[in-house]
Structure 1
């Protein structure tokens, strides 16, 4: 397909595609002349992945380039791929410079559950900040209060990883990792809201 068709199929403007090509995020197409090239389905998938990383994950162009290169480097290693997508594994290799002192409450939660998570995981920091905000309004809420929710999340994670194992292609795995970890999150929140409404109707509805 020509670049105009690639733009139509992917929903990415032609000018943006050319920018991604110049920045090395998108591999070049097969040259058909001095000014023309043909693109395939892999370019469509790659564009969707790039747009998810930049538009949803809010990565910079430079960080996106690093992530895609790192995913290619660790192809076949699903744990590394997922760690890169989740931000639990550094892109630069200088992990010591970015690790933070873990929250004592979150560490207790992680230890109690027997979870293996990186000290630099953004989710660890987000949990600590959210728990602190909750305790400011309701001091009776502790890390122990989160255990039942964490156990539900553990079951969801098993479903996520089952979905990642459906392909051996590193780019498809990265794409699916973003789909199941980032893009699915609003759906999970919406389902929780629907479930809360349903439970309220059963308990308190007329």
Structure 2
């Protein structure tokens, strides 16, 4: 297909496709003349991946380039390739090893990982520091979390990943498609899970704390003054 067809099928504007080509994010097409190149399904798959990384993952071009390099490196196994994308999607807080609260939080995280037999999680995984930073913040807000507080969440996450998440990632297709599925599952299913949790919290809050009849509790919140203007 020509670049105009590639643009029509992918929904990506021609100038944007040319930018991806210049940046090395998208492979060059097969040159058929001095001014024309042909593209195929592999280019469509790559555009889907780039859009997922940009629009869903909100990643900068420099980071996307590293993920693309892992996708194209056949010497990198699936775990390593997905790990590159996974870590890129995770915020990387700066560790504070001299801070007692930080050290204590990191110990809780490391012990929890060991208790759950997540022994394949890399010692320097940014998600360890991300969770530790969350624990530090909770403590500073007067709501310290212990290993026992985290364990129900960890077990729920373990079950979700083993029984649902990992099955949504196709491992027998093109590598672009595998990474795209990881990005979509991690970001969008993460948002869906957070929304479902808030729905459950609203339901339980109404059950335990509301003084209104159940029918009233289920009704939409009343409009405030700003809503009526």
Same fold (TM over 0.5): yes
**Does residue 1:64 correspond to 2:64, yes or no?**
yes
| Counterpart contact for 1:76–1:170, Cα < 8 Å | no
Structural mapping, 1:179-190, within 5 Å? 179-190=184-195
Could you tell me how far 1:52 is from its partner in structure 2? 2.2
**Does residue 1:112 correspond to 2:115, yes or no?**
yes
TM-score of the superposition, structure 2-length normalised? 0.74
- Structure 1: 5+ residue stretches without partners: 89-97
**Does residue 1:122 correspond to 2:96, yes or no?**
no
Could you tell me how far 1:157 is from its partner in structure 2? 1.2
Q: Distance in 2 between matches of 1:197 and 1:139?
A: 21
| Counterpart contact for 2:21–2:28, Cα < 8 Å | yes
Q: Distance in 1 between matches of 2:196 and 2:6?
A: 34
The verdict on how the C-alpha distance between 1:120 and 1:57 changes in structure 2, with shifts beyond 3 A counting, is farther
Structural mapping, 1:33-112, within 5 Å? 33-74=33-74, 77-87=77-87, 103-112=106-115
| Counterpart contact for 2:49–2:180, Cα < 8 Å | yes
Tell me the number of residue pairs that the alignment of Structure 1 and Structure 2 aligns: 197
| Counterpart contact for 2:138–2:144, Cα < 8 Å | no
2:160 — aligned with what?
156
**Secondary structure at 1:87 match in 2:** helix
Could you tell me how far 1:201 is from its partner in structure 2? 4.4
Could you tell me how far 1:166 is from its partner in structure 2? 5.0
2:16 — aligned with what?
16
The verdict on how the C-alpha distance between 1:74 and 1:187 changes in structure 2, with shifts beyond 3 A counting, is farther
TM-score of the superposition, structure 1-length normalised? 0.81
| Counterpart contact for 1:100–1:120, Cα < 8 Å | no
| Counterpart contact for 1:99–1:119, Cα < 8 Å | no
Could you tell me how far 1:204 is from its partner in structure 2? 5.1
Higher Cα radius of gyration: 2
Q: CA RMSD in A?
A: 2.7
- Deviation string 1:111-133 (CA, Å, 9 cap, x unpaired) is 22221211222221111111111
- Deviation string 1:84-119 (CA, Å, 9 cap, x unpaired) is 11118xxxxxxxxx9996711211221222212112
**Secondary structure at 2:124 match in 1:** coil
Could you tell me how far 1:202 is from its partner in structure 2? 4.7
Q: Distance in 1 between matches of 2:48 and 2:182?
A: 13
- Deviation string 1:16-55 (CA, Å, 9 cap, x unpaired) is 1101101111012233332122322322221121122234
For 1:147, which of 148, 151, 154 is the aligned residue? 151
| Counterpart contact for 2:6–2:39, Cα < 8 Å | yes
For 2:196, which of 188, 191, 197 is the aligned residue? 191
Higher mean C-alpha displacement, 137-146 vs 172-181: 137-146
